[in-house]
Structure 1
Amino acid sequence: MGDGQNSNQLTDSESLVVTFEFDFYFPFIGNHDTKHYSLPMSVISQRTRGSGTPSSILKKPRSLKSRLNEVGHTPTKVRFILPHSRKVQNILQEYIETKVSRDYENLLCLIRDSVLTDDDVSSLLKEAAACISILNQDLRLFVEALLSIAWIDKNNDVVSEYQSFIVNLLSAHNYHAKIVIEKLVKLFLPSKPYRSRMARRGTPDADCLKCINIHALINLLLSVVPMCKELLMNSISKEFPYYNKSTHIHEYYLHNILWILDYQSSFRPDILHLIFSKLVIMDVNAPKEEIEKFVNDEEMFLMEDDAKSVKTSTTAFTTVNRHTVAHTLDVCLDKLFNYIVSECHNSKTGELNWEKTKRLYHDIISAFEKVILPTYNTHHVQYIMFLTCCFKPAITEAFLNFLWKKVCNPNVAPVLRQTSVNYIASLVARANFVPLSMVKGTLQQMADWIHSYISTQDGLECINSDVRIHSVFYSVCQALFYIVSFRHKDLVESRKTVVQNFAAITRKYQLAYCYTVMEHNARNMIPTIYQDEKGSVVMSNNVLDAFYPFDPYILERSGKNIHPFYREYKETVEESMDIDVKETNEVDDFLCNQDLSTTPVSKSQKFSYGSSPGFKFKT
């Protein structure tokens, strides 16, 4: 191997065993490891001596003593020397013509297995650049070998040469665009996983410096080779880490795909759609109740690789570490929240950039409608919309109008209409940036819709209708109750349902007396049996299930972006809920003289209807 010929050539069937020592370089940010591997290779000459038979390639068994004598002897280290450019071109040309070339195979192994210095890489790139015109599909393996070179941590001159070579290569042969883009996107993943401490501190500066070279090359390719845009999006989706991968892998990858939006904003709708889809999977695999059980455990996220320190759940395909998934979700949401804040504000003055905010809102609402809104019982991902709405009342109003249009549209699936009205109620109740005027407007809309619905449905022909067709009506009613209960200063101190809070407030202000109806519904435990429009017998338990998406946010790291704008439930009571409801069944007197003093309760109690069955209604 090399330029010259070996003077000591084998002329007969002698068997020569040469041991090559390779230095394999495993690049990793902040840690350069060089490991040595000894690889014995048997070389058998093609020629035989006289009429004799070739010697066997199998060695005779050696004694233990002979093996022990070899211990401590370092094998001879063979240094590979890159062939001259003329010879590289000749090797490639020979392979194109004959399709069989041992020199070509040796060249590929040389590039892949050698430890290449900066000078080696520079020399090789110059040799390859001289051959670009012939680097067609036939030389795909040679191109792949060049793409396997660790180049992002080389000196600036080598990096520039590599980038220029890739751009020129794809300009001449766009056939290689797919493999080039895939190789570049794979660099968005760390070559070696960090422990969780890196995820808590954020992406290191050293990582970012190396990523600059990758993104500079991608940006060049997107402008020179238009087909790379579709290939890039496909590769980003394909290489996105599985939801139970380590936190640092997700953080590193998310950091890089958000970086793409800095120079290719046209990718934002598709990338946000992809990110939302992946975060939703994490969210549903990190149950809120599991996080709450261990919220005070300081070691929960410190040992994410220690299976004994966390609770795992085995599915049909894999073992899921629920708390690590929750931590990963927390880190990813924090990075996404920071991106949204920085995108909408001037980096120097901190002032809101209204034009950029409007454009970002339209991209986010599109991904929200397709991914988050149809997903039931997520816990944290939907706060992306919560944070976006806090920047300006006009954004909040636009979001509420978007949801209300879905509620009023009979062509939308009832489950989405119910979910939409729950989003309205939860946002208006929980967001401290929603002004009182907007609260009143929302309640007025709901009340008008409710009265209009009652007027439309109030007739004998509706008596035997399928109760399920009224599910949206009951959801709007409960949403109105929910908002009144939350946004009123004098809240009832209780962990009861929405109906009980609403009943206490309306009773105090002599708006309505609901306890008699509530007691009647509480006794109505027998399911309703009826026939639907097809004549099938259907049984309903008459319980309205409610999902309020902006119940308390419990992820610690990303929660710092949410808590300043979040309205906590006031732990006070307008009247004691220990009143014997039975005694009030026959009393419907608003003027009863009863003490409505407040009494404190534990601060640990939370007003949350996320898992509440809601109220019962009689049909």
Structure 2
Amino acid sequence: MPATPILKKQAPAASSACKRVVFNTSQTIHSIILKFRESGDSSHFSSLFNDLSTSGSKSELLLWLSQMTECVPLLDRQADKIVLQFLKIPWYKSKELAAAAKSFVITLVTAHNYYTYSVLKQLFTSLIPDVNEDDESLLVKAGLLTEEKEVCQQLILTSIVAIHNHVPMCRDTLLVLARKCMPYFRRHVHQHAVYTFNLLQLANQLPRLRMALLEIVITNMVTIDVHIPRSELATLDEDDDDDSSEEEDVFDMEVDEPKEKEGKVASESSCAMNHKDGNTLDVLMAIMLQYVHDVCHGFNEPRKPTVLSENSADVKSTPQIRDSKQLCQAGSVSLSGNDNSLTVGCECGGREHDLAALKLLFTDLKEVFSSIILRTFASCHVQFLVFYLLALRPGLATIFLEFLRVKQFENPNCSRDVRQNAMAYIGSLLARGKFIPFSHVHSCLEEMMRATNYEDFLLHSPFYYACQTVFYVFTFRYREYTKDSKRLALARSLNLERLVMSQLNPLRICAPPVVSNFAAVTRRFQLAYCYTIMENNKRFGIPAASVDEHRCAGNTTLNMLFPFDPYLLQRSKIYIEDHYREFDGLPEDVVKSQETTMDTDAQDIIVTPKSFDFSYGSSPGYRKWQGGFLPSDHLVEGVFPL
């Protein structure tokens, strides 16, 4: 009696062992394919592949890949369901499986190129890692992978490159899938960082597709950028400063060692911004800015910036080595010129630049800028990729500014918005770029002043764009124009009075804060007298009924963004800040004069609110301005954003 139940209990084990042996034979795989080709019934292998996906051991998976590779000649269109379901098995969990999967997919696509789309889709999907949303360490170390996962990612990329080389007609399919598989912009920052870095590596291995892949990456970044109101980032930044100052006041204890340890922990946790989308864009900007720096310096492979896992102070002190000699750090600068006219550029001074690679990257970025960034109105940070490239090689700024003026602004075939944005980029770049010398600023202003007869397009709007740019740039860099009599003569040669007295009345149409500051500076140095016209504009500025859908006869003012407003992303800021010019404020005597005017004519002046924000890029400019002159407290602080 006891022998019977023992045999019955052992029988299933023997049966399963026997099934496992049959499961791994090439004859079984061969027969499965032939059976499906004849009957079209997928039930006999669906459960088998599901078991492989969930509980298949590494040895079993490797054997299946090997045998499927041998059976590739049988995997024609009649066996497409087997192939499609087999590709869904997660093959890229280890480097051994990833290498075997690479051999299989390349053999499959070479023999049957109609599987190219399915194979590429699976490969691009595998470039996006799975994440645990509760793991906060991924916010700080976004984009960093283990060594084994890095190897798997590299095998996936080499598979994509091999498929592209074996099936040249798949180029469009590859780009479509690269764009389609991009993570949704609200997805986890780690997924965005890993996928973006992989696309940059792919662009390096397929140089003919680099511009298209950069367009995919930058389009995703622009999508994130336009969904982040600048006011939210500024508010969070102010809140963080307030909280940190309060904590320092309350917990400032005279204990040195614990304070140092706590400081390190705080610096590591503060790498991630509190704003979710802002943190994602910050990480992507750091990756892209590091990529721009590396390509310009001849690196063949993109590197992940150390700023992703370290605080900014540590990053600047971390040397970067290439070929046993020190390379200039990303974001660092060198000074050139004499004491009276200093400009900043790349720390190596261009000696370490790969000019051929730099020229190609500039061409690609310029095209992407023209097709995407220039046509996006609310972008606040992505355009700093071009800003940083020009900072590394200041000589390119001349070419870029000429491209904006001739090819975009003065081209009547461009839309009104594109021409407006082109002039905004010209003005903001001239004002903010430390790498642009005064001589070039003056020549650009001279060129704009000579071009008095711009194409009449929707009520002379290009003329007003040019006028506002002149007012803005001159006010921003007036100290260089007024430092001595020779420079002051250059300012007079611009003949700013001609713009002020124009019958088109730009002082009425241009943004009031720009006009107010320009009037104060030009009056102080007797270059132009604007206040009489401003007062007349104020008296006749009574709102009236709309004449047509494009024109308002009363209080029309020009909306115009200034794209290089202060950079608010915390981690990637280290690449920009040393190349970025802050506004020095108005002259002290102008401030005192304004204070006297405010005291004597308070009833005639409309005072702006205390929360006045001179941020140009967020609104399309000046959303908090209420009209009239600026209050004295804001004039003291400086009317441009710091």
TM over 0.5, yes or no?
Answer: yes
In structure 1, what is the equivalent of residue 460 of structure 2? 470
Structure 1 counterpart SS, 2:474 = helix
- Counterpart of 1:210 (choices 122, 127, 152) is 152
Q: Distance in 2 between matches of 1:162 and 1:384?
A: 37
1:43-81 deviations in whole A, cap 9, x for unaligned? xxxxxxxxxxxxxxxxxxxxxxxxxxxxxxxxx999844
Structure 2 counterpart SS, 1:556 = coil
Output aligned runs, 1:541-556, within 5 Å. Answer: 541-556=555-570
- Counterpart of 1:341 (choices 293, 298, 303) is 293
Q: Distance in 2 between matches of 1:579 and 1:80?
A: 94
Q: Cα gap change, 1:79/1:252 in structure 2, threshold over 3 Å: closer, same or farther?
A: farther
Residues 546 and 612 in structure 1, CA contact (< 8 A), matched pair in contact too: no
Q: Which one has the bigger helix percentage?
A: 2
1:295-328 deviations in whole A, cap 9, x for unaligned? 145599xxxxxxxxxxxxxxxxxxxx99211111
Structure 2 counterpart SS, 1:393 = coil
In structure 1, what is the equivalent of residue 111 of structure 2? 172
Greater mean deviation of Cα atoms: 563-572 or 99-108: 99-108
In structure 1, what is the equivalent of residue 384 of structure 2? 383
1:516-546 deviations in whole A, cap 9, x for unaligned? 22222233331356856x9x98545221222
Residues 490 and 572 in structure 1, CA contact (< 8 A), matched pair in contact too: no
1:268-314 deviations in whole A, cap 9, x for unaligned? 121222222221221111101011111145599xxxxxxxxxxxxxx
1:501 matched to 2:441: no
Output aligned runs, 1:60-209, within 5 Å. Answer: 80-81=20-21, 82-100=23-41, 103-117=44-58, 119-156=59-96, 158-193=97-132, 195-206=135-146, 207-209=149-151
In structure 1, what is the equivalent of residue 581 of structure 2? 567
In structure 2, what is the equivalent of residue 374 of structure 1? 375
Q: Distance in 1 between matches of 2:144 and 2:127?
A: 14
Residues 269 and 364 in structure 1, CA contact (< 8 A), matched pair in contact too: yes
In structure 2, what is the equivalent of residue 413 of structure 1? 415
1:87-146 deviations in whole A, cap 9, x for unaligned? 3212321221233376444544443443222x2122212221221111112222322343
- 1:483 corresponds to which letter in structure 2? V
1:361 matched to 2:353: no
Q: CA deviation at 1:200?
A: 2.1
Residues 426 and 550 in structure 1, CA contact (< 8 A), matched pair in contact too: yes
Q: Distance in 1 between matches of 2:544 and 2:449?
A: 27
1:609 matched to 2:592: no
Which has the higher relative contact order, 1 or 2, with Cα contacts under 8 A spaced 6 or more apart?
2
Residues 542 and 616 in structure 1, CA contact (< 8 A), matched pair in contact too: no
In structure 2, what is the equivalent of residue 52 of structure 1? none
In structure 1, what is the equivalent of residue 276 of structure 2? 324
Residues 379 and 549 in structure 1, CA contact (< 8 A), matched pair in contact too: yes
Q: Cα gap change, 1:236/1:543 in structure 2, threshold over 3 Å: closer, same or farther?
A: same
Greater mean deviation of Cα atoms: 97-106 or 272-281: 97-106
In structure 2, what is the equivalent of residue 233 of structure 1? 175
Residues 296 and 358 in structure 2, CA contact (< 8 A), matched pair in contact too: yes
Q: Cα gap change, 1:161/1:282 in structure 2, threshold over 3 Å: closer, same or farther?
A: closer
Q: CA deviation at 1:164?
A: 1.7
In structure 1, what is the equivalent of residue 537 of structure 2? 521
Q: Distance in 1 between matches of 2:566 and 2:477?
A: 16
Q: Distance in 2 between matches of 1:515 and 1:538?
A: 23
Residues 551 and 609 in structure 1, CA contact (< 8 A), matched pair in contact too: yes
Q: Distance in 2 between matches of 1:160 and 1:418?
A: 52
Q: Distance in 2 between matches of 1:520 and 1:538?
A: 18
For these two proteins, the number of residue pairs brought into alignment is: 492
- 2:84 corresponds to which letter in structure 1? E
Q: Distance in 1 between matches of 2:216 and 2:99?
A: 32
Q: CA deviation at 1:192?
A: 2.8
- 2:60 corresponds to which letter in structure 1? D
- 1:407 corresponds to which letter in structure 2? F
Structure 2 counterpart SS, 1:152 = coil
- 1:580 corresponds to which letter in structure 2? T
- 2:120 corresponds to which letter in structure 1? I
Identical-residue share of aligned pairs (%): 29
In structure 2, what is the equivalent of residue 314 of structure 1? none
- Counterpart of 1:243 (choices 185, 197, 209) is 185
Q: Cα gap change, 1:85/1:281 in structure 2, threshold over 3 Å: closer, same or farther?
A: same
- 2:173 corresponds to which letter in structure 1? L
Residues 491 and 573 in structure 1, CA contact (< 8 A), matched pair in contact too: no
Residues 512 and 627 in structure 2, CA contact (< 8 A), matched pair in contact too: no
Structure 2 counterpart SS, 1:527 = coil
Residues 199 and 251 in structure 1, CA contact (< 8 A), matched pair in contact too: no
Q: Distance in 1 between matches of 2:241 and 2:472?
A: 37
Q: Cα gap change, 1:415/1:216 in structure 2, threshold over 3 Å: closer, same or farther?
A: closer
Q: Cα gap change, 1:197/1:296 in structure 2, threshold over 3 Å: closer, same or farther?
A: farther
1:486 matched to 2:476: yes
Structure 2 counterpart SS, 1:477 = helix
Q: Distance in 2 between matches of 1:189 and 1:217?
A: 15
Residues 92 and 104 in structure 1, CA contact (< 8 A), matched pair in contact too: no
Deviation above 6 Å: which 4+ runs of structure 1? Answer: 76-79, 581-584, 613-617
In structure 2, what is the equivalent of residue 282 of structure 1? 224
Q: CA deviation at 1:261?
A: 1.1
